[in-house]
C-alpha cells in the first residue's frame, strides 16, 4: 500500500475533524496530534487554519461532483438522472451516518464571518442547482410544458430540505418523499 503523503494526511485528518466536530471546535494542535506530524509540517503545507479550511472545501466539492458523475455515468434518460441525484444525496446521508451536508454545516457555523468560505459554499450550491437545471432542461425537450427555472428551484429546495430533515431525524424517509413529489412535478 502506498504511503499517504503528509499534505494528504493533514487534509484528511482536518477534513474528518471539521466535519465531525466543526471548524471552530477543531484546534491546530489536535490536527497536528491526530495527523502525527510536527507543527512545521503543517505550516509547510498550509499557511493557516483558514487555508486548510479552504482546501477542505475544495476537496469536498471535488468529491461531491465526482461521486455524482459516477452515479450518473450509465444514465441517459433525464427523468432517471433526476431520480439518481436524489438517490445520490440519500446515499451521502447514509454513508455519513446522517451527519449532513459539509457546506450547510460550515455555513451554519461560520455564517458571513468568513466571506471567502460563505461565497464558496454559495457557489457550490449554485453548481448543484445548475446540474439540476441541466437535467430539467433535458427533460423538458420531450415535455415542453415544464417551467424549467421553477421546476429546477423546486427540486433543488426539496433535495436540500430532505438533507436537513434526514440529518435531524437520522433517517432517509424524506428522500423517498422527495422522489414521489418530483415524479408529480414531472408530467
For the entire predicted model, the pTM comes to 0.92
Measured at the alpha carbon of residue 101, what is the angle toward residues 97 and 107, in degrees to the nearest 5? 135
Alpha carbons within 13 A on the beta-carbon side of 128 = 27
pLDDT score of 187 more than 90: no
Tens digits of residue pLDDT in 23-49: 999 999 999 999 999 989 999 999 999
Determine contact, residues 134/141, Cβ cutoff 8 Å: no
Render pLDDT for 66-90 as a digit per residue (tens, 0 to 9): 999 999 999 999 999 999 999 999 9
pLDDT tens per residue across span 122-162: 999 999 999 999 999 999 999 999 999 999 999 999 999 99
Neighbours of 175 (CB within 10 A): 22
Q: Which domains does the chain have, with CATH numbers?
A: 1-46 (1.10.10.60), 54-185 (1.10.357.10)
Separation between Cα atoms, residue 149 and residue 141, nearest integer Å: 14
Amino acid at each position: 500500500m502506498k504511503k499517504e503523503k503528509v499534505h494528504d494526511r493533514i487534509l484528511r485528518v482536518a477534513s474528518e475533524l471539521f466535519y465531525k466536530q466543526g471548524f471552530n471546535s477543531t484546534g491546530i494542535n489536535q490536527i497536528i496530534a491526530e495527523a502525527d506530524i510536527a507543527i512545521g509540517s503543517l505550516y509547510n503545507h498550509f499557511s493557516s487554519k483558514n487555508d486548510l479550511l479552504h482546501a477542505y472545501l475544495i476537496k469536498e466539492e471535488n468529491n461531491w461532483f465526482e461521486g455524482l458523475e459516477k452515479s450518473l455515468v450509465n444514465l441517459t434518460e433525464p427523468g432517471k438522472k433526476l431520480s439518481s441525484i436524489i438517490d445520490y444525496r440519500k446515499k451521502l446521508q447514509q454513508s455519513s451516518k446522517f451527519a449532513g451536508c459539509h457546506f450547510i454545516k460550515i455555513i451554519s457555523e461560520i455564517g458571513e464571518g468568513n466571506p471567502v468560505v460563505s461565497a464558496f459554499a454559495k457557489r457550490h450550491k449554485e453548481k448543484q442547482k445548475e446540474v439540476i437545471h441541466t437535467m430539467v432542461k433535458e427533460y423538458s425537450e420531450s415535455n415542453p410544458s415544464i417551467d424549467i427555472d421553477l421546476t429546477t428551484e423546486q427540486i433543488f429546495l426539496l433535495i436540500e430540505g430532505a438533507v436537513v430533515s434526514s440529518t435531524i431525524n437520522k433517517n432517509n424517509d424524506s428522500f423517498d418523499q422527495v422522489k414521489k413529489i418530483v415524479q408529480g412535478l414531472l408530467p
